[in-house]
Structures are given as structure tokens and as C-alpha cells.
Structure 1
Amino acid sequence: MCRSIHTLHNFEPAATSEEVHAAALQYVRKIAGTTKPSMANREAFDRAVAEIAHATQHLLAELVATTPPKNREEEAEKKRAKAIASGRYAA
């Protein structure tokens, strides 16, 4: 999976439409193999991003969580600490 796509389900506050769009954009970029489509492919690229974002919004609205929502900031801090501990980033 693309590293730039993050889990959006079961967080408080809930994922924003901007986060959903960013995930859809990263997905389409990965599938298309390009970060910037040619003019000939721009319409198809943009349409795919919009459709995937739309489907993602529906999915997130319908998913049922059996655990309490996670705090977005706490989870981000855990990831930063793990990355530093693994030596990926300097402290």
C-alpha cells in the first residue's frame, strides 16, 4: 500500500473531505504510475479521483467500529516516535 494513504476509519475527529480526497489522489497516482497526468489523461485522472473519493466517503459512513475511536494526534505522535526509534529520522 502507498505510504501516503493513511487509515481514515474510526478516528476522532472523523476524516475530513480533504483527507478523503488526498487518499483518493494518492491511490490514483499509484495505480496510474504518475503524479501528474498528461493533458490527454487529465479528465480521466480527475474523474477517477472524484469517484474514488465519493466511494470512500460512502464506505466510511457505513463502516461500524467495535472499538472506541482513536485520537488522531495521539496516533500521529506514536508513528513519529516509532519512526525516530527505528532510525528513519533524526531526533
Structure 2
Amino acid sequence: MCRNIKTLFNFEPPASDEEIHASALQFVRKLSGFNKPSQANEAAFNRAVEEVSSAAHRLLTSLHTHAPARDRVLEAEKAKERSRQRFG
């Protein structure tokens, strides 16, 4: 999985449309191998980003869990600490 794509489910506050779109963009970039597509591929690339974003939004709104929502700030601090331990 692409390291830049973050888990968006079960957070408080819920993932924003911008976060979902950013994850979709990273996913399509990874699949296509393009950071920025050529003009010839731009329409297909942008359509794919919108379709993936829409599918991700539907997925996130349809998932259910009994686990308590995670705190974004606390999870970010844990990730920074893991990074410090890993890279010094």
C-alpha cells in the first residue's frame, strides 16, 4: 500500500471531502505512475480521481464499527514517536 495514503475510517472528526480526494489522488498517481499526467491523459486521470474519491466516500459512509473513534491528534503523535524511534 502507498505509504502516503492514510487510514480515514473511524476518526473523530470524520474524514473531510478534501482528505478523501487527496487519498484518491495519491492512489491514482500510484496506479498510473504519473505525478502529473500529460495533456493527452489529463481527462482520464482526473476522471479516475473523481471516481475513486466517490467510491471511497461511499465506502467510508457505509462502514460500521463498535470501536470508539480514534483521535486524530493522538494518532499523529503516536506516528511521530514511531518515526523518531525508527529514524532517530
TM-score band by shorter chain is over 0.9
> Which structure has greater helix proportion?
2
Q: Which residue of 2 aligns with 1:3?
A: 3
2:62 is aligned with 1:62: yes
* Distance across 2 between alignment mates of 1:57 and 1:7: 13
* Distance across 2 between alignment mates of 1:52 and 1:34: 16
* Distance across 1 between alignment mates of 2:65 and 2:73: 19
Q: Which residue of 1 aligns with 2:51?
A: 51
Query: Partner of 1:26: helix, strand, or coil?
Result: helix
Query: Partner of 2:22: helix, strand, or coil?
Result: helix
* Distance across 1 between alignment mates of 2:61 and 2:18: 15
Query: Partner of 1:68: helix, strand, or coil?
Result: coil
Segments of 4+ in structure 1 off by > 3 A?
A: none
> Which segments of 5 or more consecutive residues in structure 1 lack a partner in the other structure?
none
Count of matched residue positions in the alignment of Structure 1 and Structure 2: 88
* Distance across 2 between alignment mates of 1:86 and 1:74: 18
* Distance across 2 between alignment mates of 1:66 and 1:30: 32
TM-score normalised to the size of structure 2?
0.97
Alignment of 1:1-91 (within 5 A): 1-87=1-87
Q: CA deviation at 1:66?
A: 2.0
Query: Partner of 2:15: helix, strand, or coil?
Result: coil
Q: CA RMSD in A?
A: 0.7
> Which segments of 5 or more consecutive residues in structure 2 lack a partner in the other structure?
none
TM-score normalised to the size of structure 1?
0.94
